[in-house]
Amino acid sequence: MCDMCDGMSLADVEVRSDQCIRDFGRQVLFVEPGRFSQPYAYTIGLSLRGHPEFWFVA
């Protein structure tokens, strides 16, 4: 389940994302499938280090 679905505020999610990017240089976010959509994931933070961001589709 997503962090906000688990009760985190938007501000808490942003702080967690920022910390993850500072610690690891990127964050990978996973989007669960919907009734009519495929699951996918994407990166955030790689472009800050001169690398392309990635989009992964299952």
Cα–Cα distance, 15 to 22 (Å, whole number): 11
Cα–Cα distance, 49 to 25 (Å, whole number): 8
Q: CA triplet 45, 46, 49: central angle to 5 degrees?
A: 105
Phi then psi dihedrals of residue 28, to 5 deg: -110, 120
Task: Tell me the average pLDDT across 28-49.
Answer: 93
Judged against a pLDDT cut of 90, whether residue 58 lies above it is answered with no
Task: Band the pLDDT of 3: cuts 50, 70, 90.
Answer: confident
Q: Rounded to two decimals, what is the model's pTM?
A: 0.76
- CA 48 to each of CA 21, 30, 34, 39: distance values in angstroms, whole numbers, following the listed order: 9, 20, 30, 25
Task: Band the pLDDT of 46: cuts 50, 70, 90.
Answer: very high
